[in-house]
Amino acid sequence: MKRSMKLLSAMLVTTVMAGVLAIPVSAAGTTYTGITAPNATFDKYLLVNDDSNAPELSFNYTVSAAPTVTPAAGQLPVYTTTALPTVAAVTFASSDTAEATTLATNFKTYKKTATVDFTGVTFIEPGVYRYYIDETETAIAGVVYDIDPTTPETTDGDWATNGSGYRTLDVYVEDNTTATAKTLKVTSFVMYDGHITGAPADSNNATSGSALTTATPVQAPADPQANVVTGATKTDRYVNFFDTYTITIGKEVTGNQGSKDKYFEFTLSLTSPVAGTFTVDTTNADDTVPSNNATLAAYVGKINNAPITVEANTAKDFKFYLQDGQYITIAGIPGGTKYTLTEEKEDYTSTNGITAALSTLDWDGTTGYDALDDALSNTTGINANIHTGFTNDKQGIIPTGIILKMAPVAGIAFIVVAGVIFFGVMSVKRKEYEDSESEAAE
């Protein structure tokens, strides 16, 4: 009996334990698996005037965490992360090719792509993650930073002053939960002009965004305006202007002994704030110096139209060769460039500049000849187009007055000489006559 009771008790315990084990246990709470966004991109434009090449310039950016924003009704939460993305420097070079379309009339447009790298940045909740991107405004002469990205050129042709240089980048992260895991996805990048502090609105539709898997451009201003911050200006670019000028060098020869076909050597020393390559327009001069009787043999074959390349903040000399009535124009000179112009005058009298009264040069395309009388040097840096050169004079005194004064004397001398010859001849004839008479008398 006791044995039967023990067996029954054991069976009951086993049954109870089995029943307890069969009761469902509440699942443990889970969290999202953090994700990293693909890289974002935005456009970087550099506008260059005077039909110039792009300068050798780099533009740098810093990224900081924007403040979090508690959303009001109908808004999305704004978060930040302790890890920050980075933006690599954007570099332009003189070998770059300009865009086929331009942002501003009569200006070359150079475009690059800037990349926002999210390596090491993790997103752990749905919402908007915000960062501030600031362009470093280095004091480089000729650079105007962050022109109005919507209308870079004003109606009067002037350029806006430096803008904020700031951008706000919002990263949109959505829930992408499946039946087995809580997951997230990055669906878009929106960039604004300036530092934005407001929260974006809820979506206008219930459609979930597509996950981004590769480097993706920020939304263009014309893209749908759902989920944007009210009153903020969307942008997808930075636009900078690089101010350049021209230097025109001319030659005028005067004087009755001045050779109009003689070539003179010029030396132009340039110190540019940035490295670059500049074009030389020889439309009104010779590409190569030809040979003639007046020009030094050492100048023959020298080239005028080769592009010239400078290094940043380093003086460099360039040679040019011009004869009377010729000039060359060097384009793409950065604002703030220092220059000095000298020449080999040889046996001529040299005068700085060319006055309008003596000029045979027409560089502005209007009726009449133009002066090239700007200073031969600028040690503070140019901020306008330069027109300069030399007037070389050579005079010779022709002794016309002496010839006129000597004319009477020369006439008398001629008469005297003629008289001497005449009387000499007559004396010889008389002597011969007398001799012949003496012989006849004998």
The domains spanning 40-242 and 244-393 adopt the same CATH topology:
yes
Q: How far apart are CA 219 and CA 228, in angstroms?
A: 11
Q: How far apart are CA 58 and CA 80, in angstroms?
A: 29
CATH 3.40.50.1100 is the classification of domain 244-393:
no
Exposure letters 99-113 (e unless 16+ CB within 10 A, then b): eeeebbeebbbbbee
Spatial neighbors of 147 by CB under 8 A, at least 6 apart, are 47, 159, 160, 163, 239, 240, 241
CATH 3.40.50.970 is the classification of domain 40-242:
no
Local confidence band at 104 (pLDDT 50, 70, 90 cut-offs): confident
315, 289, 318, 317: which is closest to 302 by C-alpha? 289
Instruction: For the chain, give the mean pLDDT.
Output: 83
Please give the radius of gyration of the chain, using alpha carbons only, rounded to the nearest integer: 45
Distance of CA 306 to the CA centre of its chain: 18
pLDDT at 210: 86
Residue 435 parent element (H or E): helix 400-441
Q: Best-predicted range by mean pLDDT among 154-168, 363-377, 378-392?
A: 378-392
Query: Looking at the predicted structure, is the pLDDT value of residue 366 above 90?
Result: no
Domain boundaries, the chain: 40-242, 244-393
Q: Best-predicted range by mean pLDDT among 37-41, 133-137, 209-213, 412-416?
A: 37-41
- Percent of the chain beyond pLDDT 70? 76
Write out pLDDT tens, residues 17-69. 444 444 444 445 578 989 999 999 999 999 887 677 888 889 999 999 999 99
Note the pTM of the prediction, 2 decimals. Answer: 0.72
Instruction: Name the more confident of 149 and 350.
Output: 350
Spatial neighbors of 25 by CB under 8 A, at least 6 apart, are none
- Percent of the chain beyond pLDDT 90? 54
pLDDT at 8: 43
Query: Looking at the predicted structure, is the pLDDT value of residue 403 above 90?
Result: no
Q: What is the DSSP letter of 297?
A: G
Local confidence band at 417 (pLDDT 50, 70, 90 cut-offs): low
| C-alpha dihedral sign at 338, 364, 47, 98 | negative
Please state which of the ranges 127-141, 240-254, 349-363, 415-429 shows the lowest mean pLDDT: 415-429
Q: How far apart are CA 124 and CA 30, in angstroms?
A: 12
Question: Which residue type occupies 75?
Answer: Q
Write out pLDDT tens, residues 9-22. 545 444 444 444 44
Show the tokens assigned to 249. Answer: 């060098």
Show the tokens assigned to 305. Answer: 């139209």
Q: How far apart are CA 234 and CA 150, in angstroms?
A: 10
Local confidence band at 241 (pLDDT 50, 70, 90 cut-offs): confident
Write out pLDDT tens, residues 197-230. 999 988 655 456 788 989 999 999 888 766 789 8
Spatial neighbors of 143 by CB under 8 A, at least 6 apart, are 57, 240, 241, 242, 243
Do 73 and 199 meet the contact criterion of CB atoms below 8 Å apart?
no
pLDDT at 177: 86
3-state secondary structure of 186: strand
Instruction: Name the more confident of 348 and 241.
Output: 348
DSSP string, 88-142: --EEE-TTPPPPSS-SSTTSEEEEEEEEEE-TT--B-SSEEEEEEEEE-----TT
Write out pLDDT tens, residues 272-331. 988 888 989 999 999 999 999 999 999 999 999 999 999 989 999 999 999 999 999 999
Do 195 and 66 meet the contact criterion of CB atoms below 8 Å apart?
yes
Establish how many alpha carbons lie within 13 A of residue 94's alpha carbon, considering only the half-sphere containing its beta carbon. 18
